[in-house]
Amino acid sequence: MGTITRTFANNITTSGVFKPTAFNNASFDNVTAVPSGSLPAGGSMVLLSTQTASASTSISFTSGLTSTYKEYMFIFNNIHPATDNVSFQFNLSIDGGSNYNVTKTTTHFQAYHYEADTFTDLRYLSGNDLAQSTSYQDIISEQGNANDESTSGTLHLFNPSDTTYVKHFLTNFNMYNWDNLTMNNYVAGYANTTSAINAIDFKFSSGNIDAGTIQMFGIL
């Protein structure tokens, strides 16, 4: 058995799997390119915009929603309302933000648990869903405005520039309810339009967005 053959054999287990010691930095010294298809494509997040609320009536993203990305993700950090017991909402636009009135059909459910451990529930919120409505969609409801109360979460918007299909979206938020409980909210639905979505607006049902940040990412 030659030296090369013995070295190769010593780096493989009896089941034919390479041992961890088979690879080191020197193993790849001569690699100049990764063959096409060797690595999975996509998955990278590109930060496109960040907005910080400060007694803001609403926060809108009126640029950046283009055909460059097939998926956009918005990350919300500690969104805090000026008014107690309010809903955080969003709407979409096909005219660059001149109007936020895109027709939507949605579904909304939530789970919650009181700090005092007195009650828990998982429920569908038929009063918070929309059926072919142009109204703002509630992402969460009954948000508290005490100093330590806020909401955080994500919204995914899929292929907003497509002009063939409707535009799907998903949200997942957790918030500190005004009545001292944690509430996890899930909203999903579609914007029932084949026009390109090119702007999105976020606000509370009453009062300003006192504080918090919203980041918009493009997903490759």
User: Do the domain assignments include residue 129?
Assistant: yes
pTM for this predicted structure: 0.80
Look up the CATH number of the domain holding residue 113: 2.60.120
Q: What DSSP line would sit under the chain, residue for residue?
A: --HHHHHHHHTB-TTSPBPGGG--GGGGTT---PPTTSS-----EEEEEEEEEEEES-EEE-S--STT-SEEEEEEEEEEESSSSEEEEEEEESSTTS-----EEEEEEEEEEETTS--EEEEE-GGG--SSB-SPEEEEEEE--STT--EEEEEEEE-TT-SSS-EEEEEEEEEEBTTSEEEEEEEEEEE--SSPP-EEEEEESSS-EEEEEEEEEEE-
pLDDT in tens, the chain (220 residues): 555 556 656 666 666 656 666 655 555 455 555 555 544 455 689 999 999 999 999 999 999 999 999 999 999 999 999 999 999 999 999 999 999 999 999 999 999 999 999 999 999 999 999 999 999 999 999 999 999 999 999 999 999 999 999 999 999 999 999 999 999 999 999 999 999 999 999 999 999 999 999 999 999 8
User: Do the domain assignments include residue 162?
Assistant: yes
User: Do the domain assignments include residue 10?
Assistant: no
User: Do the domain assignments include residue 52?
Assistant: yes
Domain limits for position 92: 45-219
User: Do the domain assignments include residue 20?
Assistant: no
Q: How many domains, the chain?
A: 1
